[in-house]
Structure 1
Amino acid sequence: MSNDAAARSTTTGGEPSRAGKASAATTAFREARDFLVAHREDYEKAYAGFAWPELSEFNWALDWFDAIAADPANARRYALWIVEEDGSQTRWTYPEMSRRSNQVANWLRANGVRRGDRLILMLGNQGELWETILAAIKLGAVIIPASTLLGPADLVDRVERGNARHVVIRSADAAKFADIEGDYTRIVVGEPVPGWQSFSDAYTQDESFTPEGPTSAADPLLLYFTSGTTAQPKLVQHTQVSYPVGHLSTMYWIGLEPGDVHLNISSPGWAKHAWSNVFAPWNAEATVFLYNYTRFDAEALMAQMDRCGITSFCAPPTVWRMLIQADLTALRVPPRKVVGAGEPLNPEVIEQVRTAWGVTIRDGFGQTETSVQIANTPGQPVKPGSMGRAVPGFTVALVDPASGERAGEGEICLDLAHRPAGLMVGYADDEERTAAAFADGYYHTGDVGSIDEQGYITYVGRTDDVFKASDYRISPFELESVLLEHEAVAEAAVVPAPDPIRLAVPKAYVVLTAGHAPDAGTAESILAFCRRHLAPYKRVRRIEFAELPKTISGKIRRVELRGRGDAGGDESRIAGEFREEDFPGLKG
């Protein structure tokens, strides 16, 4: 099929989306997108002049993706590029992805998928994942993203609480659903499985697609189960606008523009994957690049980045910490746009990358409930330790939890008088949690920060992670940043340990870099380092060498570390724990 034929075959509400003139929704979205691209290094102009497009009807897959796929400028541009560990690769152009997703949409419709149906999508980084995302959006189905690491108990929750009508999974995961009851369509990608529909049959369908009607901008699109670090996962609900359009802010933060080749290291099923492996790069008309591996290998990753010409790169702190333990200079042509998200990056990591690559990692802050809210944006000064300023389209306020008034340090909130497009509608089937999150005219993130006179915000911690020691407020992140400057520390998590005198003292759980033993000598060295670099009331006074418990999305479960039962006295000392008082050389 020619590119012109492809353009004519995809329709929105019965009218050609790009064949004749662009739809009003396409035009409004493009104008907002182009404004941010044009001012991607001029924060003041972008923040002052940006306005979210006003959309009553919008279907991102039809009104945007298919529109840019029909643009001759994208006829040979790759939308998706996946490289496997053995060096094999597959690439799909924008027109190819548009046509293949039309086939999948037609086939899913033939198998009973209808507007508003909830569909669990549990695939790895494979082409069928992106085809199904686009197809589901075209149909108006609601996607429930799921990690392939989930077990049967998690999946029961998603089927039951998610009211799933359909599941699309890898053949290898079919056994996980063997005992999960329910009236849902079972679809597998890969080898055939008895009793399941085979996804490969989709490619027998017509390459053109006609939707049943226009899509309301307020219709649901995504239902995310949060990672559940402290409680049962919440169901975060997003609309046809809040993620597709909301991630214009994420595109702006990264600095993406047409022609970029963007690598984001994130697992499917989690919000960050949708942020930077779907919406932000395709909003920018960039290429989504993936490198699949079974075990992280920094040298192999950098070799592929060199070979494939990666221009922008995003990774979570865990990956950045592993990267700096390798020879970063092995990457001959570093990407010019590098960002970190998931948890704040420590200054030591940022400095090592700057020294080796000549670029500065720019932090961004957001949640499953939102797109990027706060970030260090391209072309702007980066203040050490700060995660930047409110991005265009977001009005951020720090609110004192006690008084409810704005303050120099407080909970990071979004002012609902200027509600951003990139904000969830609420928690599905949970009015109480939704009301609490949107209380008093603000959306409450549950994170604490401080702000300076230039509007730069520094992350302090989760409201339930910040603790008191000797009546001083302690930010775990600040102490962890210092710990990471020690050559022996690869990762660290700080939590309060009960103390009979100080109420609590900071305790660090530490993962060591290669070549360092988890012994008294290493502990003394780290504790002495903390004494030299931290105020007395902030000092880390206990250390335990241990692997850090994490959610399957990679976030440290500090709540689990706090609950390990250290009562504070000598009689309760945990085997392998080292304390300041163990070392006579550490006085005071």
Structure 2
Amino acid sequence: MTATAGTGATDEFRAARDFLLTHREDWAAAHEGFRWPRPARFNWALDWFDVIARGNDRTALHIVEEDGTTVRLSFAELSERSDRVANWLRGRGVRAEDRVLVMLGNQAELWETMLAAMKLRAVVIPATPLLGPADLRDRVERGRVRHVVVRASDAEKFAEVPGRYTRVAVGGAAEGWQRYEDAYEAPAVFVPDGPTHSDDPLMLYFTSGTTAHPKLVEHTHTSYPVGHLATMYWIGLKPGDVHLNISSPGWAKHAWSNLFAPWNAEATVFLFNYTRFDAARLMAEMDKARVTTFCAPPTVWRMLIQADLSQLRTRPREAVAAGEPLNPEVIEQVRRAWGVTIRDGFGQTETAVQVSNSPGQPLKAGSMGRPSPGYRIELLDPVSGAPGADEGEIAIDMSDHPVGLMTGYHGDADRTAEAMAGGYYRTGDIGARDEDG
């Protein structure tokens, strides 16, 4: 196990987390009373995950493959595995603030690597395995990547990606590549080589967009780990929950709901890997795993309602959707079949969930809810740019520097200044606010 003990930062984080759990169905109290924890030093993997993992044999990660193969890892096991991986990566030259491109599927090694990189204070660049050599060249070059951790089946893509970077392959290694599996032989006790400051960089996301080059969204050791307390609140997660979020690795939503939000709540992350969507099989696996909280994009919800929803015997307590507004007929079909109402939320790669329908709120058809705890949301008049409009650009008031907001667009001061002009982070999306907020 790790040499780390709980710290003042751990206590501060836990107090904020527990406040949201206490008021999980009282939005007014949560929004009024919540204050972001702001420790000067914080490493989520060391100061939170390892602390809750100590002696904890509850399942942290449960993955089921299409062929029925199952991986179950407890919090304690993942803590130790990530210690070994961190020690091994350090032996391969990974240092604080080195950029590590991680391109893995929904497999245990992804979570081990994420935790290990945090412990090393390295900067993770998540990447979807769907990327080809051209996109990878851009990421390696602009991201100044020093190390890559990828599936062995994707290693050949890097033959066309120049650069001096350590190559680590998961699931077998070709010539010139390090075998990830060797990491399990590394020492089981990890000792950090220095403190983690809360504003140290943690993640760089290449966003999709209409511009020629994706933007690089920079997050810190607090903006995503701590920021996703708001996402935990929106989903309605509680300790002991089994959470299924359908999202592809490499995208920000995967970190939101398959890493930070569930483990902030001390819940189990459950995944079912499939090549082709099969609603009946998905529901069968949800039943076996006893999924209590379920998040899926609208495309999955629309496919699910084509099946017989009554096949799911153990209905989730909470159901949410993100990415785009869900049409009312889908929400109604699920409500009739499962007795739960799908709740929408709004956020971006640059933030955690900013506005949402959290548990216990009155729901209005077509509404994405009210501001998340920790966020003050303004609508900026489209003509004058002044706050307080009934309809306008959705913006975050930055006067109290909400934790759940990116540092900026890495290497692009002009774009960052434009997005954060006048004391507001501007989302670029238009919204309207009714008399109930």
Match of 1:575 in 2: none
Q: Does 1:30 align with 2:23?
A: no
Give TM-score, length-normalised by structure 2.
Answer: 0.99
Match of 1:477 in 2: none
**Quick one: which of 231, 236, 245 aligns to 1:255?**
236
Match of 1:10 in 2: 3
**Quick one: which of 358, 363, 370 aligns to 1:377?**
358
Match of 1:198 in 2: 179
Q: Distance in 2 between matches of 1:449 and 1:347?
A: 18
User: Given that residues 65 and 98 in structure 1 are in contact (C-alpha distance below 8 angstroms), is that contact kept between their aligned partners in structure 2?
Assistant: yes
Secondary structure of the equivalent of 2:336? helix
The one of the two structures with greater contact order (alpha-carbon pairs below 8 A, sep at least 6) is 2
Distance 1:355 1:229, change over 3 A: farther
Tell me the alpha carbon deviations over residues 17-46 of structure 1, each in whole angstroms, 9 at most, x when there is no partner.
1xxxx3110000000001001110111111
Q: Distance in 2 between matches of 1:400 and 1:230?
A: 25
Q: Distance in 2 between matches of 1:205 and 1:404?
A: 56
The offset of 1:418, in angstroms, is 2.6
Q: Distance in 1 between matches of 2:276 and 2:433?
A: 39
Q: Does 1:56 align with 2:40?
A: yes
Tell me the alpha carbon deviations over residues 208-230 of structure 1, each in whole angstroms, 9 at most, x when there is no partner.
10000110000000000001245
Q: Does 1:96 align with 2:43?
A: no
1:430 alignment partner AA:
D
Q: Distance in 2 between matches of 1:76 and 1:164?
A: 36
Q: Distance in 2 between matches of 1:218 and 1:441?
A: 19
The residue correspondences of 1:465-484 to structure 2 (distance < 5 A) are none
Q: Distance in 2 between matches of 1:304 and 1:256?
A: 20
Q: Distance in 2 between matches of 1:101 and 1:281?
A: 18
The offset of 1:155, in angstroms, is 0.2
- Larger Rg computed on CA atoms: 1
Match of 1:126 in 2: 107
**Quick one: which of 431, 442, 449 aligns to 2:413?**
431
Q: Distance in 2 between matches of 1:231 and 1:177?
A: 22
**Quick one: which of 110, 114, 130 aligns to 2:91?**
110
Q: Distance in 1 between matches of 2:65 and 2:29?
A: 41
User: Given that residues 394 and 419 in structure 1 are in contact (C-alpha distance below 8 angstroms), is that contact kept between their aligned partners in structure 2?
Assistant: no
Q: Distance in 2 between matches of 1:344 and 1:218?
A: 33
The offset of 1:10, in angstroms, is 2.4
User: Given that residues 10 and 66 in structure 1 are in contact (C-alpha distance below 8 angstroms), is that contact kept between their aligned partners in structure 2?
Assistant: no
User: Given that residues 395 and 414 in structure 1 are in contact (C-alpha distance below 8 angstroms), is that contact kept between their aligned partners in structure 2?
Assistant: yes
The offset of 1:329, in angstroms, is 1.1
User: Given that residues 187 and 197 in structure 1 are in contact (C-alpha distance below 8 angstroms), is that contact kept between their aligned partners in structure 2?
Assistant: yes
The residue correspondences of 1:460-539 to structure 2 (distance < 5 A) are none
Q: Distance in 2 between matches of 1:153 and 1:38?
A: 48
Q: Distance in 2 between matches of 1:263 and 1:10?
A: 31
1:39 alignment partner AA:
H
The residue correspondences of 1:406-421 to structure 2 (distance < 5 A) are 406-421=388-403
- Give the aligned CA root-mean-square deviation in angstroms: 0.8
Q: Distance in 1 between matches of 2:359 and 2:130?
A: 35
**Quick one: which of 231, 250, 266 aligns to 1:285?**
266
1:48 alignment partner AA:
E
What runs of 5+ residues in structure 1 fail to find an aligned partner? 1-5, 12-16, 456-588
Match of 1:451 in 2: 433
1:381 alignment partner AA:
P
Q: Does 1:69 align with 2:50?
A: no
Q: Does 1:334 align with 2:315?
A: yes
Match of 1:343 in 2: 324
User: Given that residues 119 and 166 in structure 1 are in contact (C-alpha distance below 8 angstroms), is that contact kept between their aligned partners in structure 2?
Assistant: yes
Q: Does 1:226 align with 2:226?
A: no
Secondary structure of the equivalent of 1:373? strand
Match of 2:157 in 1: 176
Q: Distance in 1 between matches of 2:360 and 2:287?
A: 24
Tell me the alpha carbon deviations over residues 471-519 of structure 1, each in whole angstroms, 9 at most, x when there is no partner.
xxxxxxxxxxxxxxxxxxxxxxxxxxxxxxxxxxxxxxxxxxxxxxxxx
Q: Distance in 1 between matches of 2:111 and 2:156?
A: 23
**Quick one: which of 212, 218, 232 aligns to 2:193?**
212
Match of 1:358 in 2: 339
Secondary structure of the equivalent of 2:399? helix
Q: Distance in 2 between matches of 1:136 and 1:80?
A: 18
Give TM-score, length-normalised by structure 1.
Answer: 0.74
Q: Does 1:399 align with 2:380?
A: yes
What runs of 5+ residues in structure 2 fail to find an aligned partner? none
Q: Does 1:296 align with 2:277?
A: yes
Secondary structure of the equivalent of 1:418? coil
